Amino acid sequence: MQPGMNPDKDLLQRVTHIAAQAGMEIMAVYQRSAGFEVVSKADNSPLTEADTRAHQCIERSLLALTPDIPVLSEESELRPFAQRQRWSRYWLVDPLDGTKEFVSRNGEFTVNIALIEHGRPVLGVVHVPVTGVTYSALTEGLDAGAWRQSVPISVRQLPVQDSWANVALNVVASRRHGGGQLTQLLAALQHEAGSVELVNMGSSLKICLLAEGKADLYPRFAPTSEWDTAAAHAVLLAAGGDIVDTAFNPLTYNRKESMLNPYFIAFGCCRSTWEKLIAPTVTA
């Protein structure tokens, strides 16, 4: 891939294959009858052999595919921001998003690979090792689109109106992180909508549900890192949605020293209506 060229379907297919290979590395550990060891990283998050094997597979393959593009993975050494801020284009990878779900053996974990250009994701692949399902997207160019497997997907279109009194909303949230702000927001939505159904789920699958029209909103009022969201963010963008911070500014990448995201709101359609409903109820 030459500098200045838009990512295309050929590149997307190659990255999809890399994600599937990483998924096979993960499943080799997941299905091991003897189990696997879990250790704690410096931030007390869990790490398994599956994380390491997937990371090595992805990093090696991406560097072979695009040797001119840096790779930043959750399991690689974090390079200084003084170096990273000079990158106009780089791969952002979470080799195993949802390690706690992996350890719990509930299947809700993913392989995430994103290509970031000038702070925004332009290509994304989210692979689900247990089911073999892959979400993929290109956000720019003639090949732009979002797919589940090879089938195009798009966000659910809600009524364009000031009131959703007769609308049934579907909200997804983290299986492990809730809190007072989420409770407050859900109460506000219950007041405005006909009904609100909450589904709890792990990993970047929540954002993918928005992209394929099976959910409408994902509010996140707990810590996440940039590699947690980037790939699925690309899928959601290409499907017609977006992710914003609590002030409804676009979520961007590699703009600061820390890799932590702000609290955010991911949605399908109807940004202006969500902003009207949500902004008064949340704080940064």
Q: Please give, one letter per residue, the 3-state secondary structure of 32-70.
A: CCCCCCEEECCCCCEEEHHHHHHHHHHHHHHHHHCCCCC
Residue 2 has pLDDT above 60, yes or no: no
CATH topology classification for 9-152: Fructose-1,6-Bisphosphatase; Chain A, domain 1 (3.30.540)
| Strand spans (E) along the chain | 38-40, 46-48, 71-73, 89-97, 110-117, 120-128, 133-138, 145-148, 151-152, 164-174, 193-201, 217-220, 242-245, 264-267
137-168 pLDDT tens trace: 999 998 999 999 999 999 999 987 667 888 99
Rg (CA), the chain: 18
What residue ranges do the domains of the chain occupy? 9-152, 164-281
Domain 164-281 classified CATH 3.40.50.300?
A: no
- Alpha carbons 1 and 128: distance in angstroms, whole number: 26
Q: How confident is the model at residue 11 (pLDDT cuts 50, 70, 90)?
A: very high
Domains 9-152 and 164-281 are alike in CATH topology: no
85-116 pLDDT tens trace: 999 999 999 999 998 898 888 999 999 999 99
Residue 229 has pLDDT above 60, yes or no: yes
From the list 251, 236, 228, the residue with the least C-alpha distance to 95 is: 228
Reduce the DSSP state of residue 49 to 3 states and report it: helix
Pairing of strands 151-152, 164-174: unpaired
Entry pTM: 0.94
- Alpha carbons 271 and 217: distance in angstroms, whole number: 11
